Amino acid sequence: MSGGAPIDPWLLDKLVCPVTRTPLRWDAARQALVSDAAGLAYPMRDGVPVLVARAAVAV
């Protein structure tokens, strides 16, 4: 998926940050799901979002 999220848009719409329970957005530059409210980026591993706070990095 060139430029788009490597995750189904329907699923991306349902996912929330495990820390703040706010929506996530795809950041193509980071190749991660970002929680603007928490200031965290959650990685994707093998096409699967890793929504664990200790796996996230600060943005």
pLDDT of 31-41, one tens digit each? 999 999 999 99
Q: What number is the average pLDDT over the span 16-23?
A: 98
Report the C-alpha gap between 53 and 35 in whole angstroms: 11
Q: CB of 25 within 8 A of CB of 4?
A: no
pLDDT tens-digit map of 4-19: 678 899 999 999 999 9
How much of the chain, in percent, has pLDDT values that exceed 70?
93
Tell me, what's the pLDDT at 7? 87
Higher pLDDT, 15 or 1: 15
Report the C-alpha gap between 41 and 50 in whole angstroms: 10
Note the pTM of the prediction, 2 decimals. 0.87
